[in-house]
Chains A and B, each alone.
Chain A
Amino acid sequence: MTLLNRLDTKGSPYLYVTPFFLLFGVFGLFPLLYTGYVSFNDWDLLDAGEHTWVGLANYRELLHDPYFWNALGNTLSIWVLSTVPQLLAALWIAHLLNHRLRARTSLRMGVLLPNITSIVAVTIVFTQMFGRDFGMINWLLGLTGLGPVDWQANTWSSHLAISVIVAWRWTGYNALIYLASMQAIPHDLYEAAELDGASSGQQFWRITVPQLRPTIIFTAVISTIGGLQVMAEPLLFAGSSTPTGGSDRQFQTAALFMYEQGFREFRFGYASAIAWTLCLVIAVFAIANYLLTRRIANDEE
């Protein structure tokens, strides 16, 4: 019995956490390692997995591929354009929702609506709004006399349009995360500040933001990971379901480039090399972002 007891106290915890590790192993770790293995092969997806070992050749080719660097540049541009305004807006919305507002609960639920709407539906609607000939935005621009913009044709305009789609989808989600942690800030801090005559703006920058530090770091890292993987939006924005991201690849993201190589060229090995490279790039940016946001938040204190 004592042996059984000892086993119970020692063994049971492992048993309880097993499901996670099993699932992670099957759906997380194995694909990661297998992708790594595939990336060292010349692997034809169409020909039922015929492959030969080529070592680092895929990675060498990737580093000299101008279309990869183009895609990476587009990804970073769209990421900055969507993430920075998104997080600032989320912070502001959370601040509003945290205060005396009518119909607070429905508004709080409302900001999450864009996030639970199908990404395909969202993108199709936005793509129509950004349409060249009959889009609503060009119609509005026409009223103000600014004239129509061919949103898909130019690099800047296509990046802007895609960033709007991404930001629309994720701002509310981040706002709710901020809101949750704002509500954990002790109320007496604000009361004390109010007694000392601090304005609402001062309260926000001196109390709310520093207190939110861990949450801001969290959202910055999560947005980095998500933003650098953007794929469905540019794919659908093209309208013609071709994965090249516009006539001159002006809005092809890295994930879309990976998709093109994997599922149009059927170069499974090369696509896997892109996947691993993208994974490393994201890791670097996430760490850099973590350090940066920690520094900024520290300065506030």
Chain B
Amino acid sequence: MSLSRTARALVAAMGAAVMLTACGSSGDAGSGGSNITLNVNLFGNFGYKALYDEYQKAHPNIKIAEHTAAYNDHHRDLATHLATGTGAGDIEGVDTGFIAQMRAVGKQFTDLGTDRASQYLPWKWQASMTKDGKQIGYGTDVGGLAICYRRDLFEQAGLPSDREAVSAQWAAGWDKYIEAGKKYTEKAPKGTAFFDGGGALYNAVIGQAPQGFYSEDDSIVVGTNPEVRKAWDLVVKGIQANLSAKLIESSPEWNNGFAKGQFATIACPAWMMTKIKDQAKAYAGKWDVAAVPGGGGNWGGSYLTVPKQGKHVEEAKALAAWLTAPEQQAKIFTSQGLLPSIPALYDKPEIAQYKDPFFNNAPVGTIFTTAAKQLKPQYQGPRTGDIQTTIRDGLVRVEQGKQNSEQSWQQTVSDVDRLKK
């Protein structure tokens, strides 16, 4: 009998050893002392790098570690971490396209309270609020909408390149934008197209509609809202006129397209300026910013959330509040071009009069704050991000010549129907 007890003890010891090694690797070093590390998980470039240093100096016990992933990967990871109850960062960035999905599982996030409600654009504040009135995210930026274009390419193609003239050319609406594109294509410099890709253009066009993919009761109206089809037809017209460089937004090829100068215009929310600066360094001063056809509109913009599963919720809340505070939002606009979601800033001279040398000293302060003031908010539902991707794939099928517009539209609508389940 004694040996069987030894055997049992041995097995137990072995099991314990296995468990100890398993735990050892994931054990965290920060929880004991007063020194803590806050993990900030983001996508793309939020422009926080310089701010972290400032915050760490003021709070010597806090270390900030930022992790960035690609847009879709980031949101999928976050959802997975929420589902499994572990692995999320102390602060998680969430884009407009996914905020409604996170809002629906709002119990997974820390309630940030109502203290700052009066600071924000009302629609920005509302969009991250759960049905029972909990606030899950501090708004970072809003997109606004403009058109960024390459002056030099416009000149070579014999189009007016002055930003007033460019804006006037398509002030009447997107049809005029397509017409300008046709003119561009007649004398286009070799290897360049008029816009980057159907999917990105589509997001801008639908961003101006009063109603997008959802009605306010969270039901999908892609198949029935005429605006959705109208935007589709417009983009298809551009594709059929050979204006598209056929690049998929956020893909490596798309990034490459900036560097190689494969397209002359791009629908340009304020955050797109950051991407252009990152990717098209060689073309500094050659880019410029014009008004968007039809005026107003929004595409994108983000939030900082604090998942409940984090170990340092209070510290994370403080950091998120600080990063999104008016002073910091103002700094990020002038350093990175991300448009603040706090309207009191729009009339501050350092923002309203800001000119960006990268964009040929375009008065981006005026352009984007004007756009943001005119902006009519559009209701976003839980699957907005995935619907955008599904529609993009539909437009890619047209670009690739796999299907005609009607076939692809039918398939897109039925694919969106699958998302509802």
Does A223 lie at the interface of the complex (its beta carbon under 8 Å from any beta carbon of B)? no
Known contacts A15-B10, A239-B253, A264-B76; is-contact A248 B4 (Cβ 8 Å) = no
Q: Are A48 and B85 in contact (CB under 8 A)?
A: yes
Interface string of B1-41 (1 = CB under 8 A from A): 01110010011001100100000000000000000000000
Contact A15 B11, CB 8 Å, known A239-B253, A241-B70, A263-B76: yes
How does the 8 Å CB contact mask read for A234-252 relative to B, with 1 for contact and 0 for none?
0000011110100110000
Contact B402 A11 (CB under 8 A): no
Contacts of B386 in A (CB 8 A): 264
Check if A45 sits within 8 Å of B402, measured CB to CB: no
Q: Is A196 an interface residue (CB 8 A)?
A: no
* Interface-located stretch among B48-56, B158-166, B393-401: B393-401
Interchain CB contact under 8 A, B402 and A153: yes
Interface string of B374-408 (1 = CB under 8 A from A): 00000000000010010001101100111100000
Separation in Å of the B348 CB from the closest CB of chain A? 38
Q: Contacts A8-B3, A11-B7 known; A266 to B262 CB distance under 8 Å? A: no
B183 to chain A, nearest CB (A): 24
Q: Which of B234-262 contact A (CB under 8 A)?
A: 246, 248-253, 256-257, 260, 262
User: Quick check: A7 and B421 within 8 Å, CB to CB?
Assistant: no
Q: Chain A, 146-186, contact with B by CB distance < 8 Å: what is the 0/1 string?
A: 00001001000000000000000000000000000000000
A240 cross-chain contacts in B, Cβ below 8 A: 72, 248-251
Complex-state Cα separation, A22 to B15, whole angstroms:
8
Closest to B101 in A: A46
Partner of A242, one of B246, B257, B389, B401: B389
A299 and B218 alpha carbons, distance in the complex (Å)? 65
Q: A240-B248, A263-B79 are in contact. Are A132 and B70 (CB under 8 A)?
A: no
Closest CB in chain A relative to B400 CB, distance in Å: 4
Q: How far is the CB of A52 from chain B (nearest CB, A)?
A: 14
The answer, among B2, B71, B397, for a CB contact under 8 Å with A4, is: B2
> Is B7 a contact of A15 with CB atoms below 8 Å?
yes
The proximity string for A residues 248-278 relative to B, scoring 1 for CB distances below 8 Å and 0 otherwise, is 1000000000000001111100000000000
Instruction: Name the residue among A8, A150, A248 with the largest chain B CB count within 10 angstroms.
Output: A248
Does A197 touch B at the CB level, under 8 Å?
no
Q: Which residue of A lies closest to B4 (CB)?
A: A7
Interface size, chain A (Cβ < 8 Å): 35
Give the residue among B4, B15, B108, B400 with the most A Cβ atoms within 10 A: B400
- A48-B83, A48-B108 known; A247+B400 contact, CB < 8 A: yes
* A:128-145 near B, CB below 8 Å: 128, 131-134
Residues of chain B lying within 8 A (CB to CB) of residue A128: 252
A85 CB to nearest chain B CB (Å): 27
Is B278 positioned at the interface, with any CB of A under 8 Å from its CB? Answer: no
With a cutoff of 8 Å between Cβ atoms, the chain B residues found around residue A31 in the complex are none
Minimum distance in angstroms from A35 CB to a CB of chain B: 15
How many residues belonging to B are interface residues under a CB distance threshold of 8 Å? 47
Q: Is the CB of B284 closer than 8 A to any CB of chain A?
A: no
Q: Is the interface of B mostly helix, strand, loop or mixed?
A: helix
Q: Which residues of A contact B3 (CB under 8 A)?
A: 4, 7-8, 11
B344-375 near A? 1/0 per residue, CB < 8 Å: 00000000000000000000000000000000
Contact A266 B79 (CB under 8 A): yes
Main secondary structure of the interface of A (DSSP, over half): loop
Q: Could you tell me which residues of chain A, from 222 to 239, have a CB within 8 Å of some CB in chain B?
A: 239
A267 contacts across to B, CB distance below 8 A: 421
Would you give the shortest CB distance from B87 to chain A, in whole angstroms? 13
Tell whether B80 is near chain A: CB-to-CB under 8 Å.
yes
State A239–B257 Cα separation when bound (angstroms). Answer: 14
Residues of A within 8 A of B2 (CB): 4
**CB of A19 within 8 Å of the partner chain:** yes
Say if the beta carbon of A110 comes within 8 Å of chain B: no
Tell me if B73 counts as interface (CB < 8 A to partner A): yes
- Complex: chain A residue closest to B14, CB-CB: A19
A150 contacts across to B, CB distance below 8 A? 400
Is A28 an interface residue when CB atoms closer than 8 A count as contact? no
Q: Which residue of B lies closest to A6 (CB)?
A: B3
Residues of A within 8 A of B172 (CB): none
Question: Which residues of chain B have C-beta atoms less than 8 A from A124's C-beta?
Answer: 252
Give chain B residues whose Cβ lies under 8 Å from the Cβ of A239: 248, 251-253
* Least CB distance, A122 to chain B, in whole angstroms: 15
Measured in the bound complex, the distance between the Cα atoms of B260 and A264 in whole Å is 33
On whether the beta carbons of B248 and A266 are closer than 8 Å, the reply is no
Contact B82 A46 (CB under 8 A): yes
Q: With A18-B11, A19-B14 in contact, do A263 and B400 touch (Cβ < 8 Å)?
A: no
* A-B CB contact pairs (8 Å), 24 listed: A11-B4, A11-B7, A22-B14, A22-B18, A45-B80, A47-B105, A48-B83, A48-B85, A48-B108, A124-B252, A134-B256, A150-B400, A153-B400, A239-B251, A240-B251, A241-B71, A241-B250, A242-B389, A247-B396, A247-B402, A248-B393, A266-B79, A266-B83, A267-B421
Q: Which chain A residues have a beta carbon within 8 Å of chain B's beta carbons?
A: 4, 7-8, 11, 15, 18-19, 22-23, 45-49, 124, 127-128, 131-134, 150, 153, 239-242, 244, 247-248, 263-267
Closest 5 CB pairs of A and B: A247-B396, A153-B400, A239-B251, A45-B83, A241-B72
Q: A239-B248, A247-B394 are in contact. List 18 more A-B contacts (CB 8 A).
A: A4-B2, A7-B4, A46-B82, A48-B82, A48-B85, A124-B252, A128-B252, A131-B253, A133-B257, A133-B262, A239-B251, A240-B72, A241-B73, A242-B72, A247-B402, A248-B393, A248-B402, A248-B403
